[in-house]
Amino acid sequence: MDRPTLILSVMLMALLMRAATVSAQAVAQDSARTFTISPGYRFTEKSGEALYNATCAGCHMPDGKGAQGAGHYPALADNPAVEAAPYIIGNVLHGRKAMPSFGDAMNDDQVAAVVNYTRTHFGNRFAESVTPGQVRSLR
State how far the Cα of 59 lies from the Cα of 21, in Å rounded to an integer. Answer: 25
Q: How far is the CB of 32 from other proteins (least distance, A)?
A: 14
Task: Enumerate helices (H) and strands (E) in the chain, giving the number of each.
Answer: 6, 2
List the x/- string, 61-100, binding to other proteins by CB under 8 A. Answer: xx----xxxxxxx---------------------x-xxxx
User: Whose Cβ is closer to other proteins: residue 61's or residue 126's?
Assistant: 61
Contact call for residues 121 and 111 (beta carbons, < 8 A): no
Applying CB under 8 A, what is the total number of residues that bind other proteins?
Answer: 44
The enclosing H or E element of 73 equals strand 72-73
Q: How far is the CB of 137 from other proteins (least distance, A)?
A: 22
